[in-house]
Amino acid sequence: MHIEKLASDEVEGILEGKCWVFPKIDGTNASVWLSDGKLQFGSRKRHLHEGSDNAGFLASNKDSFNLLKLLSHNPSWRLYGEWLVPHTLKTYSGDAWRKFYVFDVFDEATQRYLPYGDYCALLHNHDIEYIHPLRVYTNPTEEALLKPLHENTFLIEDGKGIGEGIVIKRYDFVNKYGRQTWAKLVTNDFKAKHARNSTPEVTELQKTVEEKVIASHLHYSTIEKVYAKLTQNETWSSKLIPQLLGTVWHDFVTEEIWDILKKHKNPTLDFARLQRLVNARTKEVLNHLL
């Protein structure tokens, strides 16, 4: 599931009901399920196998008796979570790393995401790590959400600040487009860390539509995460530059285009120019490498 910013119309109305507020952690997406009695592993986009891992997720968990036992008793479940390896946020405590933290459970039999209360006890009984809610609200205001946002120290080393942000789930929520969607709020500190811009100041009136799109939708954290994923299993070298640029461009278009169309009111875009700007921003962020 793609998590939408709370300000997006994709999650308009999500706060009108019982909301579960969870800490958002900064690792790499991972999933586990059962097929023919054997554990299967995935990243956000790939079915993992020997020789094609994701930051050691499969290698570290392929012999997990706890995962196998849980899924053998619940074979229609698919566990979604975060495999905590270093990306942008480096302030997690030493014993938090290289663990799988479940944040969602999808039941293939009923085709629904299970509410937290339906799966937490079973995960606990099988000694499987999972993300606990910070708060549960009924009809919260955005202002009320600032408290858990700024008190989120889940897995963070003492004295090292707060986490990336929070995720808001309302399990009975379906947006106006007919999709079940979660919302997110990201801390100002985390956003500020990725708001660096060394290019000269240009007024809004002087910017082309493509420049406005890049400024509002291509986040530094997106670029750094692509780099982190490429170098999890391979040492960085210049031969990876085409793959890096191509992956950033692919992820930018596939993940942001809908929000771009809505925010900029179906603009006419020069995609060749847009790609050049994406490449330029990527080189700017990673100028020490490219």
Segment 204-232, tens digit of pLDDT: 445 789 999 998 888 877 888 888 888 87
How many Å apart are CA 40 and CA 233, to the nearest integer?
Answer: 20
Share the mean pLDDT of the chain.
90
- Joined together, the tokens standing for residue 211 give 């420049």
pLDDT at 193: 58
Q: What is the mean pLDDT of residues 149-168?
A: 94
Q: CA–CA distance from 83 to each of 32, 93, 94, 193, 234 (Å)?
A: 11, 14, 14, 22, 18
State the pLDDT at residue 202.
Answer: 41
Residue type at position 199 = T
Q: What is the pLDDT of residues 41-59, one digit of tens each?
A: 999 889 999 988 999 999 9
**Region class of 56: left (phi > 0), else alpha (psi between -120 and 50), else beta:** left
Task: Supply the pLDDT for residue 197.
Answer: 45
CA distances from residue 175 to 4, 8, 10, 194, 255 in whole angstroms, order as listed: 11, 11, 6, 29, 18
Q: What is the mean pLDDT of residues 100-123?
A: 97
Q: Is the pLDDT of residue 162 over 50?
A: yes
The answer to which of 157-171, 177-191, 251-265 has the lowest mean pLDDT is 177-191
> Is the confidence at residue 86, as pLDDT, over 60?
yes
* Phi, psi (deg, nearest 5) at residue 196: -65, 140
Of 115, 105, 122, 127, the residue nearest 61 (C-alpha): 127
Whole-model pTM? 0.75
- Dist CA 87 CA 116 (whole Å): 26
Helix axes 220-230, 271-285, angle to 10 degrees: 70
Tell how far CA 126 is from the center of its chain.
Answer: 25
pLDDT at residue 113 tops 90: yes
| Mean local confidence (pLDDT), 154-166 | 94
What does the pLDDT read at residue 236? 87
170 has a pLDDT exceeding 60: yes
Q: Which residues contact 173 (CB under 8 A, 6 or more apart)?
A: 11, 13, 14, 17, 180, 181
* Percent of the chain with pLDDT strictly greater than 90: 67
**CA 267 → CA 206, 208, 257, distances in Å?**
16, 11, 11
Per-residue model confidence (pLDDT) at position 70: 98
How many CB atoms within 10 Å of residue 137?
18
Give the least confident one: 60-64, 83-87, 224-228, 272-276: 224-228
pLDDT category at 189 given cuts 50, 70, 90 is low
Of 71, 50, 60, 66, give the one whose Cα is nearest residue 30.
Answer: 60
pLDDT in tens, 243-279: 999 999 999 998 899 889 988 889 999 999 999 999 9
